[in-house]
């Protein structure tokens, strides 16, 4: 309790008849990376806006670094850094001028101002472009600059609302690497929202949010354990018959979709030879994978996380890259 930096009690936010946030409760510990995972429109941004004093809750209380965000908004603001989902730079000024504005308005001591600006700009690889107008920056560069700005005043809590949306995998990787390093070095609490699965994996704990409610909250590993073992996907000549065979032979609840059949089982590696031996239907392919947060989401909400699959390919690529780089352990 004493160690909580964010405390949310019975938070409700209504927009007219629409209940965007529906009675949610959670605590975030100091120094923790806390992830909000959910589809677009689930209430992630609304919650973050309330936590950041930008929006007033309909009811409930939010405490940030010991300050009530409604009654002590001013003190709460000093403790937080924010990287918005929508751009919030002055595009008619240079990168340097944007950061100087931020440094002044956050009261960063003048003697550390320039060195910190240099640090963050080098981190996001924009130091060479510091005197260019932001209006000439690409989307990715603008985003990187915003992240640099959010870190400039070394906040107690750094809010990242879909911070890597629309960035290339390399930049995303680089940014998360730095955020985690900063968290480690300065003991900054990270509060992130995302709908990229691999990004949610960097969190120490994840709250899965759907339709304004928190449907699950735990460490990524514990959440994945909820799924109950490995996931086996199967393609056969006759998926319908094969599914019935699996149910009768092994007593496993298998699901059939247009790609084939999928089911969960413990010790998947040992199960596959048994399956191919016993099954009468001709098997075309078998796949085995560990449960992902996508599976967790499906399990707790009963529906897929996203309808469009745009981010999926990127997710897989960055994942492979990380494992190749030997960093998988750290991100898991």
Partner 1 sequence: MNELRGVYIIWYRDLLRFWRDRIRLFTAFIQPLFFLIIFGTGLSSSMALVSQQSEDYDYIQFMFPGVIAMIVLFTAIMWGISIVWDREFGFLKEVLVAPVSRVSVAIGKALGGATIATIQGTMMLVFAPIAGVNLSMTQVIPLLILMFIIAVSLTSMGILVASRVKTMESFQIVMQLLLFPLLFISPALFPVDQLPAWLGWMVRVNPVSYAVDSLRQVVLSHTEGGYPATLELFGHNMSVAEDALVILLFGVIMVTLAVRSFGRQE
Interactions with partner 1, residue window 104-123 (CB under 8 A): 104-107
Closest CB 143 distance from partner 1, rounded Å:
12
- State the binding string over 128-167 for partner 1 (x if CB under 8 A, else -): ---------------------x------------------
- According to the binding rule CB under 8 A, does residue 88 interact with partner 1? yes
For partner 1, which is the closer residue by CB, 106 or 250? 106
Q: Distance between CA 51 and CA 219 in Å, rounded?
A: 22
Per CB under 8 A, does 332 bind partner 1?
A: no
User: Closest CB to partner 1 among 55 and 234?
Assistant: 55
User: 3-state DSSP call for residue 56?
Assistant: coil
Give, in order, the Cα–Cα distances in Å from 53 to each of 69, 75, 163, 171.
6, 10, 19, 29
Of 80 and 318, which has the nearer Cβ to partner 1?
80
Judged by CB under 8 A, does residue 251 bind partner 1? no
53 touches partner 1 by CB under 8 A: yes
Alpha-carbon span 251 to 248, nearest angstrom: 6
**Sheet of 33-37, strands arranged across:** 80-83, 157-161, 189-194, 33-37, 205-210, 213-218
| Spatial distance between the Cα atoms of 86 and 101, rounded to a whole number of angstroms | 19
- Name the β-bridge partners of 209: 214
84 is a contact residue toward partner 1 (CB under 8 A): yes
According to CB under 8 A, which one of 41, 66, 87, 325 is a site residue for partner 1? 87
Q: Which of 3, 10, 25, 56 binds partner 1 (CB under 8 A)?
A: 56
Question: Using an 8 Å Cβ cutoff, are 133 and 98 in contact?
Answer: no
Distance separating alpha carbons of residues 233 and 323, to the nearest angstrom: 22
Give yes or no for residue 102 binding partner 1 (CB under 8 A). Answer: yes
Could you list the residues that contact partner 1 (CB under 8 A)? 52-56, 74-75, 77-78, 80, 82, 84, 86-93, 97, 100-102, 104-107, 149
């Amino acid at each position: 309790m004493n160690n909580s930096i964010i405390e949310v009690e019975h938070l409700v936010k209504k927009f007219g008849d629409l209940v965007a946030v529906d009675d949610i409760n959670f605590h975030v510990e100091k120094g923790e990376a806390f992830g909000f995972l959910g589809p677009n429109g689930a209430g992630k941004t609304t919650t973050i806006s309330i936590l950041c004093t930008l929006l007033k809750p309909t009811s409930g209380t939010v405490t940030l670094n010991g300050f009530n965000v409604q009654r002590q908004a001013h003190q709460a603001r000093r403790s937080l850094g924010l990287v918005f989902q929508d751009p919030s730079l002055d595009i008619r000024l240079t990168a340097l001028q944007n950061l100087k504005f931020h440094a002044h308005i956050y009261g960063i001591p003048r003697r550390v101002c320039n060195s910190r600006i240099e640090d963050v700009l080098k981190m996001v690889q924009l130091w060479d472009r510091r005197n260019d107008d932001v209006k000439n920056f690409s989307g990715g560069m603008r985003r990187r600059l915003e992240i640099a700005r959010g870190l400039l005043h070394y906040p107690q809590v750094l809010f990242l609302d879909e911070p890597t949306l629309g960035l290339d995998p390399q930049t995303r990787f680089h940014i998360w690497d730095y955020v985690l390093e900063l968290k480690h070095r300065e003991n900054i609490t990270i509060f992130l929202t995302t709908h990229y699965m691999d990004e949610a994996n960097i969190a120490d704990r994840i709250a899965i949010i759907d339709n304004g409610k928190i449907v699950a909250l735990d460490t990524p590993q514990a959440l994945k354990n909820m799924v109950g073992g490995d996931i086996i996907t199967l393609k056969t000549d006759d998926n319908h018959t094969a599914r019935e065979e699996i149910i009768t032979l092994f007593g496993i609840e298998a699901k059939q979709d247009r790609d084939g059949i999928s089911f969960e089982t413990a010790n998947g590696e040992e199960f596959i030879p048994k399956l191919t031996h016993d099954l009468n239907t001709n098997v075309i392919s078998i796949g085995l994978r560990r449960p992902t947060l996508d599976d967790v989401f499906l399990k707790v909400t009963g529906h897929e996380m996203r309808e469009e699959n745009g981010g999926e390919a990127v997710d897989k690529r960055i994942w492979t890259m990380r494992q190749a780089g030997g960093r998988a352990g750290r991100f898991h």
